[in-house]
Amino acid sequence: MTTYGEQKLQEEKVFKDPVHSYVHVRDQVIWDLISTREFQRLRRIRQLGTTFLVFHGAEHTRFNHSLGVYELMRRIVDDRFSGRDEWDASERLVVLCAALLHDLGHGPFSHAFENVFELNHEEYTRHILLGDTEVNAVLRKVSEDFPQKVSQVIEKKYANPLVVSLISSQIDADRMDYLQRDAYYTGVSYGNFDLERILRVLRPSKEQAVIKYSGVHAVEDYIMSRYQMYLQVYFHPVSRSAEAILNQILQRAKRLYKEGYAFELMPKPFIPFFEKKIEIADYIALDESILLTYFQLWMHEEDDVLRDLCTRFVNRRLFQYSDLNVEVEKERYVRLQQLFQDAGIDPAYYLLSDCSSDDFYRTTAKQEPIMILMPDGQLKELTEVSLIVDAVAGKIETDHKIYYPLEEIEAITNTGLRDEILTLLERA
Amino acid sequence: MTTYGEQKLQEEKVFKDPVHSYVHVRDQVIWDLISTREFQRLRRIRQLGTTFLVFHGAEHTRFNHSLGVYELMRRIVDDRFSGRDEWDASERLVVLCAALLHDLGHGPFSHAFENVFELNHEEYTRHILLGDTEVNAVLRKVSEDFPQKVSQVIEKKYANPLVVSLISSQIDADRMDYLQRDAYYTGVSYGNFDLERILRVLRPSKEQAVIKYSGVHAVEDYIMSRYQMYLQVYFHPVSRSAEAILNQILQRAKRLYKEGYAFELMPKPFIPFFEKKIEIADYIALDESILLTYFQLWMHEEDDVLRDLCTRFVNRRLFQYSDLNVEVEKERYVRLQQLFQDAGIDPAYYLLSDCSSDDFYRTTAKQEPIMILMPDGQLKELTEVSLIVDAVAGKIETDHKIYYPLEEIEAITNTGLRDEILTLLERA
Amino acid sequence: MTTYGEQKLQEEKVFKDPVHSYVHVRDQVIWDLISTREFQRLRRIRQLGTTFLVFHGAEHTRFNHSLGVYELMRRIVDDRFSGRDEWDASERLVVLCAALLHDLGHGPFSHAFENVFELNHEEYTRHILLGDTEVNAVLRKVSEDFPQKVSQVIEKKYANPLVVSLISSQIDADRMDYLQRDAYYTGVSYGNFDLERILRVLRPSKEQAVIKYSGVHAVEDYIMSRYQMYLQVYFHPVSRSAEAILNQILQRAKRLYKEGYAFELMPKPFIPFFEKKIEIADYIALDESILLTYFQLWMHEEDDVLRDLCTRFVNRRLFQYSDLNVEVEKERYVRLQQLFQDAGIDPAYYLLSDCSSDDFYRTTAKQEPIMILMPDGQLKELTEVSLIVDAVAGKIETDHKIYYPLEEIEAITNTGLRDEILTLLERA
Amino acid sequence: MTTYGEQKLQEEKVFKDPVHSYVHVRDQVIWDLISTREFQRLRRIRQLGTTFLVFHGAEHTRFNHSLGVYELMRRIVDDRFSGRDEWDASERLVVLCAALLHDLGHGPFSHAFENVFELNHEEYTRHILLGDTEVNAVLRKVSEDFPQKVSQVIEKKYANPLVVSLISSQIDADRMDYLQRDAYYTGVSYGNFDLERILRVLRPSKEQAVIKYSGVHAVEDYIMSRYQMYLQVYFHPVSRSAEAILNQILQRAKRLYKEGYAFELMPKPFIPFFEKKIEIADYIALDESILLTYFQLWMHEEDDVLRDLCTRFVNRRLFQYSDLNVEVEKERYVRLQQLFQDAGIDPAYYLLSDCSSDDFYRTTAKQEPIMILMPDGQLKELTEVSLIVDAVAGKIETDHKIYYPLEEIEAITNTGLRDEILTLLERA
């Protein structure tokens, strides 16, 4: 008799997907997982957070991306690995489920949200997989320990390192999907690399998925794509400016709550987060439409800071920015803070700093290297065979910025004060 | 001295756009309009309403599309018409503004929303253009009657018919943008036609924009694309199923409000709509994130119907459908209503019908025909020169469906009743 | 033991192909066929004859296209049909070989060439398959009757009509490849249709390959693409003008040879064709580079007509054209012939006529209809289920043209004569 | 009165181009140049020489590419530079002509041809521009010294260095076109970079075209694309194998001629090249169809080497290859030569070596660096602002190969000899 884990749909179902053409589903388990409310919730979480305020096409969601990672994994496993000695066919379902569900725990505007409320989306992915959820119910129908297994793959604790590598390595299904997907929806061309070629040269091996030597140039191209996407899209300063404001909104709301501020409408969905007593149900209940709704309500709050920041975020009146490394130019920064204070602009909310930083490729304890399968069967680390990756490996591109409301500074009536600020911001 | 209407940005600004590569802005007026809160609000209204529940890529917004229509119009006017005798250069700004702002009055999930609250988005576009809004303030800086002019263009009441035709005809900038954009984001290939070619053969003429004869085949292709998009995407039965549910949610909430039902949280943003006393500010305040937030709240309401319908919409548990024309098969429909009643499933909310209908191309009083500029300077109507358009002109593709919760019907314990329903639904 | 027909390459080989991304070869037979000199010769025969003189990208060859048809067939058979009851797996190799080899008998600039020398490329395909060739030697290694079988499939005489339909029907692998390929290389967008979708809905059936009902719109789109490609590319009047000249070059050379004209260099490779005593080896020896070489030699021949026509073709000094149906406007045509004569321009070579004609879709004795597999298992003919195909079926788009050297006519010194000609050509 | 140089076509003409969508021509001069037989001859010279034997799509010609470079230049000059202070509008025509004509002197299979006959295509470009040609006649109609000016731009001797830089620098119109074009026709994705973006950030400056700082990442991407195209396409070992054979064919034919060998058909078009007495007319008369025609004739010559090599080239029976740097492993190479001799395989024709080598980016005396226009108006050299280009600048990727007929070696009956050869070739 067919077990639930082996059950196939009577007819294959497909989702039209602009990136992979179609997402194909034949397994009953996968179909059932997609229909759970926890998975459907990912439709209300954008893949790229605040990036839509810079690249207006970037409205795509984590639902979108999760299906894409699943589809890539399905192609890797069914079209590429299936039938090879190094691949254990019994791992198929767990890796497909892990691919589909790996982002389940992401909250609304993940980075800012996790930052302010000291959360970790990976932990919440585990909670959703193992807790009292529809997803857990589906997974348990496969076997009692199946939810745990899926969770282990996502947390990189699964026994079979090859399976883990498929979902979290420097060239995994997750990254390959998001680079292409984010490029597609933003409209930038940088995320394009030869995905077909990489799939063709991917091979299972004992410790991890490896790349046949003939595919090294495709991998080089992928690494350069990744780098460009980070610089051009993920670290775009305007998007970081929006995120900095978002951060301050959540911080301010939390502080006001703690101080007993009387919100016009009590922000019920936020209270568990303000108080750090979060049930799974609270977590799942939150999404970006709810945040945007509250931000719009708060545009009418009495508190000046909350009101102003929300108005800025909703109507896209973002902060301008200048280059400034607050570690290196501490004095300049402290002086700016003082001058903002003097001008009546609270630097805690209106002089923000951040730093983005990315390296091209690394081989550290944490990051498994990309291994190349040589014609003679040996494995070599990528930098040994790629002149170009070797040249850039370990190089770090760092960008330090400060953000501030330029139009308010320009409106300062004390011209001496104003000009000193503008000069320090290199705006003079 | 340069007037406000003539003012150019110091440096051209661009928006990265996946469909047109870049959207270029040089006019200060355009830049200022984009920055208004009313225009920014379009970021929170999806272009395709409930379609994202079928085509997961279709999360793009009216902000997105509005910029696209503006960009197409800019290319038509600046690259194609500029310098030609038939084109009056003084119309440039009004047509660009009309292109940018033509969708300003769309509400959240427009169709269902307009339907239930008996609104008309075109009327609201006019209100926003002429009322106390940021958009109006920008337009008035051009000249006192400029908001009125822009409004007239959008309402097809503007004196110069050529200008009107650019924004509302059977081959205008609006349609050309949305066909390509919706195809891009859904991932279907049908919306592709040779936009470059059509732009190249578009010519200004006294009464309307016309197409050079050498471009007839590109127009044929465009008409076929349009037809395919309607059938494949816009009229997709699953999306219509979601829209039918949305309709019922709003109907139910309105009715409950009228009946004095005690909502757990009073739906403040909806009250002006329930009571038909809508201020512009109320209208602008509403967007899809607010609707989705309330739908999630209502998933916990006491009222069974509201709770169930909202849960269906949010978690995508949509109705199944069958072919049934309620005009033609009245008896079958009435019988089904009766049987639903007998089974305790309220047909008012759970047995819904709709009809989609599209013709390929028509030449009626309302719809200006597409005119072809012949080599000898004459104008001919498209069907006279295109064998294929002539063959399909006036043909109408109509699709009648009913929607219902299949799984509830299958769960009816009275098997006779259940089987009769299933048979009538052609599900047996 | 593995027979030759079952032998697989140790490692799959791929050809990078812009249209299908990659062409995959695993069968030894296919690999060996590609390496034969008869198949390699297809590299020297352009897919679109004289079209490169209009669309400069159209330099792609029949080698290119043949690999593409093979790849499509491989995907149909291996990914779609394999495992289905209606499909007989033992037909796999014969259909793949037929797909690969179906164009083997094409001569240089096929249409003109076949026309002048009264040849038929299908007959030559059979000769090459069955004669003393490398291709035949490979096929015979599969089995003695295998060359015959492949030939029967291509000639539509094979016992299994399903197999025949895959390679010659109104929606076969041949057409699907060439529409997309020709669109790609010319750069026109019209040839794009949703190939992936059509492959997904193609099903084997007893009499032919059929299309699932859910794919009807994809088929409509394909039919419109086909129509557009015919009108925009295949019947482009400038390309037909070039072909008319080519025709006359070959006619003239043949006539001169027959008349015993003393060519500066005896056109050895043409003699078997002039004399209609063609061996397979003669046929295979000829390709487009040889034709172009002779045309260049003939640019220096003493014979005025041959010299002029060759100079025109090589340096692309083509004829201009006007609309004229020689059947319908016989008088006008005869008068033009007379006037050309009077002006000393030989109408036999300098006043050429042709007619292109295409219908959208037909269901005649010769052309198998496209059959649609309805949800209930019935088969219906396409026009029964497609409103749009029904509307256009049987309509015929016909284009009659005459071609002439406009600049020579304009140079006629007798102005009365000149003006009458120009008037009759509607050039005045 | 309008001079010839200023004359515009009555209606703009366009060429459909897959890479740039359309090539637009408005200048009479450009139109007339395209119609010359010297320019039309470029239709018979492939852009990528022997590459079509590896990437079957690469049949595109220098005609194709030359139009593309012209179109890019037109867009740079008319859309980007026009109206800027640093741009001298009177340079427009000379730079457009230089763009169009820069490859005019390329011979058939340029590299091998130039190598064997010790020619230089740049020299022949000059001869064609300045000699008794149709191109020269058109250019002289502009002004007596205009042919000379165009020639100077192409030869980098023109007074205005900005003009020169547009056509020959590390990021010029020539390279930008061929990278994208070659990627398109081969089907590899590596050649894609954001051309639109680069055109947008290109600025005229005194000494050269420069790139705005905001475009640095697009330039990085371009440099990586270029590198990938060199490694993946231009230096593909199979294409180099074909070129090595081509080289030997021409060498052999030349040697046989010098030795008084009696060709069955005297290779008239080659004689001027064998004898190094080349007139412009001889040069122009030669193209790839003529070479291919002679190679096919020579497949029946008595000389074993010529016959065999031609058969190999025409029927694509190329040499296999191994890694071997003949400088570094001199002994191994000499030993192989000896062993080939012993086996009766002439190493002069059957043991060939070559080396391909490319650096990513360099700043040498010969190669103008890419200059970046900083926000403050300064110019900085690319490596100063790009971490990634700095990392790879000057790195050189070198590939040494030897080529040989593997199947003949495997057929050596003396197994000791055979095995020693195979071992030395690392084929054992």
Within a 10 A sphere around the Cβ of D11, how many other Cβ atoms? 7
pLDDT tens per residue, range C145-175: 999 999 999 999 999 999 999 999 999 999 9
Could D16 and C288 be called an inter-chain contact, meaning their C-beta atoms sit closer than 8 Å? no
D25-48 average pLDDT score: 97
Could A221 and D217 be called an inter-chain contact, meaning their C-beta atoms sit closer than 8 Å? no
d(CA D294, CA D50): 16
Nearest chain B residue to D16, by CA: B197
pLDDT at D191 over 80: no
- Domains of chain D plus CATH, in order, are 4-235 (1.10.3210.10), 236-317 (1.20.1250.30)
Residue A396 and residue A359 in contact, taking contact as beta carbons nearer than 8 Å = yes
Could D61 and C56 be called an inter-chain contact, meaning their C-beta atoms sit closer than 8 Å? yes
pLDDT at A388 over 90: no
Q: Where are the alpha helices (DSSP H) in A161-276?
A: 161-167, 173-186, 195-201, 216-229, 237-258, 271-274
**Residue C28 — φ and ψ, nearest 5°?**
-60, -40
**Residue from the list A40, A52, A184 with its beta carbon closest to the beta carbon of B316:** A40
Residue C290 and residue C307 in contact, taking contact as beta carbons nearer than 8 Å = no
Roughly how many angstroms between the first and final C-alpha of chain C, as a whole number? 77
Which residues are paired to C355 by β-bridges?
C400
Distance of CA A423 to the CA centre of its chain: 36
B428 touching chain C per CB within 8 A:
no
Residue C180 distance to chain D (closest CA, Å) = 13
> Which of B59, B64, B185, B407 to mutate against chain A (most A CBs within 10 Å)?
B59
Residue C337 distance to chain D (closest CA, Å) = 29
Interface of A with D in 336-365 (CB under 8 A): 360
pLDDT computed for residue A357 by the predictor: 84
Q: Could you give the percent of chain B with pLDDT greater than 70?
A: 99
Residue C197 distance to chain A (closest CA, Å) = 9
- Local structure of residue A46 (DSSP, 8 states): B
Q: How confident is the model at residue A394 (pLDDT cuts 50, 70, 90)?
A: confident
| Subunits adjacent to chain C (3 or more Cβ pairs under 8 Å) | A, B, D
pLDDT computed for residue A319 by the predictor: 97
Nearest chain A residue to D391, by CA: A391
Q: Coil, helix or strand for A25?
A: strand
pLDDT tens per residue, range C115-141: 999 999 999 999 999 999 999 999 999
Q: How confident is the model at residue A365 (pLDDT cuts 50, 70, 90)?
A: low
Could D200 and B14 be called an inter-chain contact, meaning their C-beta atoms sit closer than 8 Å? yes
D19-37 average pLDDT score: 97
A199-216 average pLDDT score: 94
pLDDT tens per residue, range B13-27: 999 999 999 999 999
Q: Which is nearest to B142 in space by CA: B7, B8, B18?
A: B7
D254-276 average pLDDT score: 96
pLDDT computed for residue B163 by the predictor: 97
Q: Coil, helix or strand for C350?
A: helix
Could A194 and D190 be called an inter-chain contact, meaning their C-beta atoms sit closer than 8 Å? yes
Which residues are paired to B21 by β-bridges?
B17
Interface A-D, measured as beta-carbon pairs within 8 A, has a size of 54
Could C186 and D21 be called an inter-chain contact, meaning their C-beta atoms sit closer than 8 Å? no
Contacts of C22 in chain A (CB under 8 A): 196, 200
**Residue from the list C17, C52, C315 with its beta carbon closest to the beta carbon of D57:** C17
What mean pLDDT is reported for chain B?
Answer: 94
Min mean pLDDT across A284-298, D20-34, D295-309, D376-390 is at D376-390
Sheet holding D352-359, edge to edge: D320-323, D396-404, D352-359
Nearest chain B residue to A269, by CA: B297
> Which of C15, C19, C21, C78 to mutate against chain A (most A CBs within 10 Å)?
C21
Could A187 and B21 be called an inter-chain contact, meaning their C-beta atoms sit closer than 8 Å? yes
Contacts of C391 in chain B (CB under 8 A): 391-392, 395
pLDDT tens per residue, range B200-229: 999 999 999 999 999 999 999 999 999 889
pLDDT computed for residue C394 by the predictor: 83
Nearest chain D residue to C52, by CA: D43
DSSP per-residue codes, D187-251: --STT---HHHHHHHEE--SSS-EEEGGGHHHHHHHHHHHHHHIIIIIT-HHHHHHHHHHHHHHH
Q: Structure pTM?
A: 0.93
A189 touching chain B per CB within 8 A:
no
Contacts of A22 in chain C (CB under 8 A): 196, 200
pLDDT tens per residue, range A310-331: 999 999 999 999 999 999 999 9
D392 touching chain A per CB within 8 A:
yes
> Is residue B356 classed exposed, middle or buried when 0-12, 13-18 and 19+ CB atoms within 10 A define those classes?
middle
- Pairing relation of β-strands C379-381 and D202-203? unpaired
* Angle in degrees, 0-180, between the axes of helices D288-298 and D304-314, rounded to the nearest 10: 130
- Give the 3-state DSSP-derived string for D65-82, with helices as H, strands as E and coil as C: HHHHHHHHHHHHHHHHHC
pLDDT computed for residue B192 by the predictor: 82
Interface A-C, measured as beta-carbon pairs within 8 A, has a size of 8
Tokens of B14: 């661009």
Contacts of A200 in chain C (CB under 8 A): 14, 22
Give the angle subtended at the CA of B86 by the CAs of B84 and B92, to the nearest 5°: 75
Cα–Cα distances (Å) from D93 to D26, D28, D68, D100, D150, in that order, read 12, 11, 16, 11, 9
Interface B-C, measured as beta-carbon pairs within 8 A, has a size of 54
Contacts of B59 in chain A (CB under 8 A): 59-61, 64
Contacts of D288 in chain C (CB under 8 A): 289
Could D391 and A387 be called an inter-chain contact, meaning their C-beta atoms sit closer than 8 Å? no
d(CA D64, CA A304): 63
Interface of D with C in 290-319 (CB under 8 A): 290, 292-293, 296, 314-317
- Local structure of residue A262 (DSSP, 8 states): -
**Residue from the list A16, A19, A317 with its beta carbon closest to the beta carbon of B188:** A16
d(CA C171, CA C216): 12
D196 touching chain B per CB within 8 A:
yes
Cα–Cα distances (Å) from D390 to A274, D360, D383, in that order, read 47, 10, 4
Min mean pLDDT across A8-17, B146-155, C50-59, C337-346 is at A8-17
Tokens 């892990």 map to which residue?
Answer: A98
B159-170 average pLDDT score: 94
C265 touching chain A per CB within 8 A:
no
Min mean pLDDT across B161-170, B185-194, B249-258, C116-125 is at B185-194
pLDDT at A191 over 80: no
pLDDT at A359 over 80: no
pLDDT computed for residue B391 by the predictor: 86
Residue D134 and residue D37 in contact, taking contact as beta carbons nearer than 8 Å = yes
B18 touching chain D per CB within 8 A:
no
Nearest chain A residue to D214, by CA: A232
**Residue D23 — φ and ψ, nearest 5°?**
-105, 125
Distance of CA B285 to the CA centre of its chain: 20
Q: How confident is the model at residue B365 (pLDDT cuts 50, 70, 90)?
A: low
**Residue from the list B19, B21, B57 with its beta carbon closest to the beta carbon of A60:** B57
D59-77 average pLDDT score: 98
D189 touching chain A per CB within 8 A:
yes
- Local structure of residue A61 (DSSP, 8 states): B
- Local structure of residue B234 (DSSP, 8 states): I
pLDDT at C204 over 90: yes
Contacts of D14 in chain C (CB under 8 A): none
**Residue from the list C19, C37, C56 with its beta carbon closest to the beta carbon of D315:** C37
* Type and span of the H or E element at B398: strand B396-404
pLDDT at D367 over 80: no
B334 touching chain D per CB within 8 A:
no
Could B388 and C360 be called an inter-chain contact, meaning their C-beta atoms sit closer than 8 Å? yes
B230 touching chain C per CB within 8 A:
no
Interface A-B, measured as beta-carbon pairs within 8 A, has a size of 100
pLDDT tens per residue, range C230-245: 988 999 999 999 999 9
pLDDT computed for residue A391 by the predictor: 86
A188 touching chain D per CB within 8 A:
yes
> Is residue C26 classed exposed, middle or buried when 0-12, 13-18 and 19+ CB atoms within 10 A define those classes?
middle
pLDDT at B1 over 70: yes
What mean pLDDT is reported for chain A?
Answer: 94
pLDDT computed for residue C252 by the predictor: 97
Q: How confident is the model at residue D365 (pLDDT cuts 50, 70, 90)?
A: low
Q: How confident is the model at residue D302 (pLDDT cuts 50, 70, 90)?
A: very high
Q: Coil, helix or strand for C158?
A: coil
| ipTM of the complex as predicted | 0.95
Contacts of A21 in chain C (CB under 8 A): 196
Within a 10 A sphere around the Cβ of A329, how many other Cβ atoms? 16
Could A59 and B64 be called an inter-chain contact, meaning their C-beta atoms sit closer than 8 Å? yes
Residue C147 distance to chain A (closest CA, Å) = 33
- Local structure of residue D347 (DSSP, 8 states): H
C385-391 average pLDDT score: 89
**Residue from the list D35, D44, D61 with its beta carbon closest to the beta carbon of C292:** D44
| B301-309 long-range contacts, CB within 8 A, separation 24+ | B301/B263, B301/B264, B302/B264, B303/B252, B303/B256, B303/B261, B305/B248, B305/B252, B305/B346, B305/B349, B306/B249, B306/B252, B306/B253, B306/B256, B309/B245, B309/B248, B309/B249, B309/B252, B309/B349
d(CA A182, CA C378): 44
Q: Coil, helix or strand for A219?
A: helix
Could D289 and C285 be called an inter-chain contact, meaning their C-beta atoms sit closer than 8 Å? no
Residue C177 and residue C17 in contact, taking contact as beta carbons nearer than 8 Å = no
Contacts of A15 in chain B (CB under 8 A): 56
* Type and span of the H or E element at B154: helix B146-154
Q: Which is nearest to D160 in space by CA: D105, D208, D196?
A: D208
